[in-house]
Amino acid sequence: MAEPSAFKPDDSSSLHSIGHDSAVRLHDSHDSSPVQHREQHAGDDWPLAANDPPQADLQHQDHPVPAPVPAAFHDHDPYDVASDSGIDSGSLLGDETDTLASSIMNYRIENGRQYHAYRDGAYWGPNDELAKEILDFAHHMYLLTLDHKLHLAPIKHPQTILDVGTGTGIWAIDMADQYPSATVIGTDLSPIQPEWVPPNCHFEIDDVTLDWTYPDEHFDFIHIRELFGCIPDWDFFFQQAYAHTKPGGWIEIVEHSVQPTADDDTMGPDHFYHRWGDTVVEMGEIFGKSFTIWNEAKERLEKAGFVDVVEVTYQWPMNGWAQDKKLKNIGRWNQLRLHQGIEGFMLRLLTQVGGWSVARAQVFLAEMRRELKSTKTHAYLPGTVVYGRKPFRS
């Protein structure tokens, strides 16, 4: 595979620019390899009981083995992928449907990690097996944080639900189980969702930074989680969300800071966590996609026209330093998530956006892993859940 093209600072849409902008519907199968449907529901403690600490080994593999390229792609006509992909090419929008299908199911390998090919470079994270595991860790952490609630917005009898940036699709699947009369749609740039899902749950490949193609006033509830570093223009994004929400419908955005902080003197001005947070924010600024939406969401939702906007704050300790039982448990999960996931979070940003060498980036990541082991620093990531309602017509 060819080396990735150089990042252009004035291109805020992607690391590797590509012209496709069509939404693609994934029907009954969503992955080239069979994946069993997760039997995870809103009240389950997955993968461990809520008060049990993670038992996984924290020894990180810096270069996990990526999933092999399916044999069908080696000597395969790139314009004939429908039989392998599980995507109905007849549902693809636009004239270059077969080329689009190929770009969706293919992927890019960088520094031993696998990344999506559709809208190549628009997202900084990998989509390999380790990355999917980290996303599901985060889902479990959000369940613990919100006391096993999938949302805080006071929705009642929703019929149409949109999960923007669905990732592995685990939240959308849980919502489809919780609201069986609703149609739940999850969108993402990567077709990494399970093959077997509830019949009222569907996944689509889409870039939500572009004009949305859904009907106006269509959704009862729009859910957004961990899209930090993904959206070049949040005001435009929320305008799109407002237009496609039904009057009286709700929107909810769940985000957290990338800059650790502490309420005591255990994190001095020279602590590595400050350099870490400043570096992530700087990479986002160069990339043209901010990592600070967690403390901007309330104001931006109100600016878009939503009313009854509520902001709920939460904390994710960096490890198990907290005395509070719930926070200690969340902190240990966060330590595991960060220890195993920071390469995926940061490697592409540091090398493609920041211009760092891989060696320099790995040293930086190793410093973070070392700090994560210290419970002397009482640091945490602040976060917010912000929800609001679209006004009824007067």
The CA-based dihedral angle spanning residues 9, 254, 238, 190, taken in that order and rounded to the nearest 10 degrees: 60
Q: Is residue 4 part of a domain?
A: no
What CATH number does residue 190 fall under?
3.40.50.150
338 lies in some domain: yes
Domain around 116: 24-389
Name the phi and psi angles at 273, rounded to 5.
-55, -35
Structural domains in the chain (count): 1
18 part of a folded domain:
no
| Residue 8 domain-assigned (yes or no) | no
Judged by DSSP in three states, 175 sits in: helix
Tens of pLDDT along the chain (394 residues) come to 333 333 233 333 334 333 333 333 443 333 333 333 333 333 333 333 334 444 443 333 343 333 333 333 233 333 232 322 223 323 333 433 333 444 555 565 655 555 555 554 555 456 667 778 888 889 999 999 999 999 999 999 999 999 998 988 999 999 999 999 999 999 988 777 788 899 999 999 888 888 999 999 999 999 999 998 889 999 999 999 999 999 999 999 999 999 999 999 999 999 999 999 999 999 999 988 889 999 999 999 999 999 999 999 999 999 999 999 999 999 999 999 999 888 888 888 898 889 999 999 999 999 999 999 999 999 999 999 999 999 997 4
pTM, 2 dp = 0.72
Token look-up 């009482």 returns: 378
Residue position matching structure tokens 């992530």: 280
With respect to residue 71, please indicate whether it lies within any of the assigned structural domains: yes
Burial of 100 (0-12, 13-18, 19+ CB in 10 A): buried
Q: What DSSP designation does 201 have? A: E
Distance CA 144, CA 168 (A): 18
- CA-to-CA distance for 369 and 372, rounded, in angstroms? 5
Is 31 part of a structural domain of the chain? yes
User: Counting every residue, how long is the chain?
Assistant: 394
Task: List own/partner pairs for 76-85 with CB under 8 A and 24 or more apart.
Answer: 78/102, 78/106, 81/105, 84/32, 85/32, 85/191
